Amino acid sequence: MGGLRESTTTSTVTAITLNTVKPLRRTTLNRLFAVVYMCAIFTLLYHHAQTLLFQSKTLLSFSVSLSLLVADMILAFMWSTTQSFRMRPVHRREYPENLKKVTKRDEFPGLDVFICTADPYKEPPMGVVNTALSVMAYDYPTEKMSVYISDDGSSAFTLFAFMEAAKFASHWLSFCRKKDIMERNPEAYFASNHSWNSETEKIKMMYKSMKVRVEHVVETGKVSDEYITSDQEREAFHKWTDRFTRQDHPTIIQVLLESNKDKDITGNYLPNLVYVSREKSKTSHHYFKAGALNALLRVSATMSNAPIVLTLDCDMYSNDPETPLRTLCYVSDPDIGPNLAYVQFPQRFRGINKNDIYASEFKHMFALNPKGLDGLRGPDYFGTGAFFCRRAFFGDPSTFIAPEIVELSPDHAVEEPIKSPSILSLAHRVAGCNYENQTKWGSKIGFRYGSLVEDYFTGYKLHCEGWRSIFCHPERPAFYGDAPTNMLDMLNQSKRWTIGLLEVAFSKYSPVTFGIRSMGLMGLCYSHYAFEPSLSIPITVYAFLPQLALLGGVTSFPKVLEPLFFLYCFLFLGAYGQDFLEFVLEGGTFGKWWNDQRIWMIRGLSSYVFGLTEYLLMSLGISAFGFNVTNKVVGDELSKRYDQEIFEFGVPSPMFVPMTMAAILNFFSFSWGFSQIIRGVGDLQGLFLEMLLSGFVMVNCWPIYEAIVLRSDKGKLPAKVTVIATFLAWALYYTTTSLIFK
């Protein structure tokens, strides 16, 4: 694999540094530790196998040993996949200030921005508008930029919001340029900026009144006549006929701003702004977000066909106008450019509470692992905040796959203005719901179909084809998005991912087979995600089995000071210790890390289990699932509790049951063990590890105990969940102790 030297990429002609890459210092230590830890794992597995073969005389001890062996084998496999991220982590930096020495501004490549939205109630149009305005105001030649909105919710309210946004943009863009502000999301700017003058006051009023109109339209459910300012606008809304539904309607494409024609108030051109709601019918597949993105790839090809494409979720606004320039530092690098599929920026979230109680920063997924991947072929695609080279969607770096019509080819030049009838009619055609039939879209071309995590799957397929990607993580976050602020939203998101990942794990492209074969270590990295849901097995085993055994008078772990005791201690402390160190080195705090590992357990007992089950039911043809969009609106009361770091349950969801069962059962096994020791019946040495495990689970379950007994607010755990969980925990205890551990 050859050592990765510290390297500096310079443009050959001018010797100007655009980007640098350095291996992380901890790499050698990581590799050494991996060897030691691996030996420890093998010792434990050897011990389990021996116990199973030679010491398991009864059915009981056999099943306990077998379960522990299986659990530890899965943990060992998952550990090995994590090591692949630790073998070659790198750190990159880019120097956008040097860019102008290499390329002139008018030689910058065109940039098409895709913003996806799917539901005007879960994703309020004002949020989408703010995201769009923040990118329209990029420090980038406006005549080279086009912003496309994909509305899978096909909502007249969203279109209305963007008609308003188009008008406001002509003030906002020139305001940003004049004041040279960093914060170009109007909502965030007005919320945080306090040095007012009359000009700022004026534009703020303008923004507020737009917001009032848009929110009024959503609230009343009607675009009232007084808000419509031209016949053209009125005509656009005629498309929403009585027969129009979200699942069944014709294509709607509205060009709201046309660059080279529409100017802002100071006479500068505005970027293109296009609203697209692709055709839908109940009889054809839509492939959720991947389908939406492919429709935009085609529509944008007919209108602007920029070589660079930025994909954004509707909540993910720009926090730094320089971001596209950072991307260019890689795109225009002759050593990287030719094989480069995309430059991925981290997902960052605004409004996360102090200790990030739902671990939604996803530090491993969005910060630590990508650095490890970047030393190989590059980070996986996160679904948002990625600048793609359009060419990467058409074949591998050496073989170009031509699309079915030449106008969609990445090198096709658009000759006519985007509002011309021929362009508009082609755009409508390629947004049609039957357009993809008998084409390579979704399989060989564009974003890939077949998984609910279209982002992960698309990045994976691109890497398999030989493309590379870059992880660009500047100090000032490039984008900010929303993270779930209640337990159920978080678990539902995680469940959707679980299903999507399993779809890949058990497909013919499974990373453990196809992936490792086509790209070695990189395939192991992808396996880490694909098989993450399998962690639910060891987590469930460790949350219930030793505790039930303890209640049945059987111990599963070695006594204190036995050699194996130290092995267990080393394995536990080694894994947790290394994880903690990495987390903190990446800017985390103890509190955030603690919650991160807590949520890891909760997912293992909840979303992974339910995701696995739903995936099985789907495989058997019993049920189907869809893309359940994450809610991006937060009520006041909930938001208050979130800020106070109180867990939000509130609804009686089955997803809360297994974790509540674990909380109850661990409480009883711990208390029982404790009473044994107090009464002098049990010996502490023998029960020590069991007690430690139960104690650890209990500390992790503390918010659940609180939610059961101490709280009376709306977010507490519904009594129904407690009752069901108590009953199930008791049934589990009863069957195991009376039938198995008797």
Ligand X SMILES: O=c1ccn([C@@H]2O[C@H](COP(=O)(O)OP(=O)(O)O[C@H]3O[C@H](CO)[C@@H](O)[C@H](O)[C@H]3O)[C@@H](O)[C@H]2O)c(=O)[nH]1
106 catalytic residue (yes or no):
no
- 288 binds, options Mn ion, ligand X, none, Cβ within 5 to 8 A by partner type: ligand X
Does residue 452 interact with ligand X by CB under 6 A?
A: yes
CB 301 within 8 A of CB 467: no
Kindly state the number of chain residues that form the binding site for ligand X, as judged by CB under 6 A.
Answer: 24
- Round to whole Å and give the CA distance between 218 and 691: 55
- 345 binds, options Mn ion, ligand X, none, Cβ within 5 to 8 A by partner type: none
Nearest residue to 255 via CA among 172, 159, 139, 120: 159
Contacts of 135 (CB under 8 A, 6+ apart): 113, 115, 147, 310, 312, 317, 318
Q: Which of 72, 112, 151, 152 is catalytic?
A: 152
Task: Convert residues 525-554 into a mask of x (bound to ligand X by CB under 6 A) and - (unbound).
Answer: ------------------------------
Contacts with Mn ion in 103-122 (CB under 5 A)? none
Interface residue with ligand X, options 288, 317, 441, 649 (CB under 6 A): 288
Does residue 493 interact with ligand X by CB under 6 A?
A: yes
- Round to whole Å and give the CA distance between 663 and 330: 49
Is position 122 annotated in a ligand binding site? Answer: yes
Nearer to ligand X, 383 or 410 (CB): 383
Nearest approach, Cβ of residue 614 and ligand X (Å): 14
Is position 313 annotated in a ligand binding site? Answer: yes
Interface residue with ligand X, options 496, 528, 603, 641 (CB under 6 A): 496
Contacts with Mn ion in 295-334 (CB under 5 A)? 313
- What is the per-residue DSSP string for 563-579? HHHHHHHHHHHHHHHHH
Is position 411 annotated in a ligand binding site? Answer: no
Nearest approach, Cβ of residue 425 and Mn ion (Å): 34
Nearest approach, Cβ of residue 678 and ligand X (Å): 48
Q: Outline where DSSP puts E strands in 152-282.
A: 252-257, 272-277
Does residue 118 interact with ligand X by CB under 6 A?
A: yes
CB 557 within 8 A of CB 568: yes
528: its two tokens = 């880490």
Strand 468-471 to 340-344 pairing: parallel
Nearer to ligand X, 72 or 123 (CB): 123
Nearest approach, Cβ of residue 405 and ligand X (Å): 24
Nearer to Mn ion, 118 or 522 (CB): 118
Task: Convert residues 379-398 into a mask of x (bound to ligand X by CB under 6 A) and - (unbound).
Answer: ----xx--------------
Q: What are phi and psi of 323, to 5 degrees?
A: -50, -45
- Round to whole Å and give the CA distance between 235 and 242: 15
Radius of gyration (Cα) for the chain, nearest Å?
A: 28
Interface residue with ligand X, options 72, 94, 112, 123 (CB under 6 A): 123
Nearest approach, Cβ of residue 82 and Mn ion (Å): 25
Nearest approach, Cβ of residue 116 and ligand X (Å): 4
- Round to whole Å and give the CA distance between 299 and 278: 9
370: its two tokens = 């990508």
- 496 binds, options ligand X, Mn ion, none, Cβ within 5 to 8 A by partner type: ligand X
- What is the per-residue DSSP string for 25-94? TTHHHHHHHHHHHHHHHHHHHHHHHHIIIII--SHHHHHHHHHHHHHHHHHHHHHHHHHHHHSS-EEEEE
Nearer to ligand X, 460 or 670 (CB): 460
Write down the residue that tokens 């394995």 correspond to.
Answer: 571
For residue 441, the cross-strand partners are 445
- Round to whole Å and give the CA distance between 497 and 501: 6
Nearer to ligand X, 136 or 316 (CB): 316
- Round to whole Å and give the CA distance between 349 and 361: 7
Write down the residue that tokens 């998984």 correspond to.
Answer: 451
Interface residue with ligand X, options 117, 185, 353, 360 (CB under 6 A): 117
Does residue 342 interact with ligand X by CB under 6 A?
A: no
- CB-based closest residue to ligand X: 383
143: its two tokens = 């005549």
Which residue type, as a one-letter code, is found at position 535?
L
- Round to whole Å and give the CA distance between 550 and 641: 37
Q: How far is CA 698 from the centre of its chain?
A: 29
Interface residue with ligand X, options 164, 258, 313, 356 (CB under 6 A): 313
For residue 343, the cross-strand partners are 387, 470
Nearer to ligand X, 349 or 733 (CB): 349
Interface residue with ligand X, options 160, 627, 642, 688 (CB under 6 A): 627
Is position 242 annotated in a ligand binding site? Answer: no
Nearest approach, Cβ of residue 188 and ligand X (Å): 18
- Round to whole Å and give the CA distance between 532 and 505: 10
Nearest approach, Cβ of residue 313 and Mn ion (Å): 5
Which residue type, as a one-letter code, is found at position 363?
K
Write down the residue that tokens 């060891």 correspond to.
Answer: 538
Contacts with Mn ion in 598-637 (CB under 5 A)? 630
- Round to whole Å and give the CA distance between 580 and 586: 10
Nearer to ligand X, 380 or 596 (CB): 380
- Three-class secondary structure of residue 275 per DSSP: strand
Does residue 131 interact with ligand X by CB under 6 A?
A: no
Nearest approach, Cβ of residue 384 and ligand X (Å): 4
CA torsion sign for 133, 137, 143, 146 is: negative
- Three-class secondary structure of residue 284 per DSSP: coil
- 123 binds, options Mn ion, ligand X, none, Cβ within 5 to 8 A by partner type: ligand X
- Round to whole Å and give the CA distance between 505 and 513: 9
Is position 208 annotated in a ligand binding site? Answer: no
- 493 binds, options Mn ion, ligand X, none, Cβ within 5 to 8 A by partner type: ligand X
Write down the residue that tokens 């089950």 correspond to.
Answer: 613
- Round to whole Å and give the CA distance between 412 and 407: 6
CB 436 within 8 A of CB 442: yes
Contacts with ligand X in 292-311 (CB under 6 A)? 292
Nearest approach, Cβ of residue 55 and Mn ion (Å): 50
Q: Which of 112, 455, 489, 596 is catalytic?
A: 455
Interface residue with ligand X, options 386, 516, 629, 687 (CB under 6 A): 629
Nearer to ligand X, 357 or 545 (CB): 357
Does residue 116 interact with ligand X by CB under 6 A?
A: yes
Nearer to ligand X, 132 or 707 (CB): 132
225 catalytic residue (yes or no):
no
Does residue 152 interact with ligand X by CB under 6 A?
A: yes
CB 513 within 8 A of CB 526: no
- 125 binds, options Mn ion, ligand X, none, Cβ within 5 to 8 A by partner type: none
Question: What size, in residues, is the chain?
Answer: 742
The CA angle 703-360-482, to the nearest 5 degrees, is 120
Instruction: Please give the residue ranges that form the binding site for ligand X (CB under 6 A).
Output: 116-118, 123, 150, 152, 288-289, 292, 313-314, 383-384, 452-455, 493, 496-497, 500, 627, 629-630
Return binding residues for UDP-alpha-D-glucose: 122-123, 152
Return binding residues for Mn(2+): 289, 313
Return binding residues: 122-123, 152, 289, 313
Instruction: Please give the residue ranges that form the binding site for Mn ion (CB under 5 A).
Output: 313, 630
**Catalytic residue ranges:** 152, 455
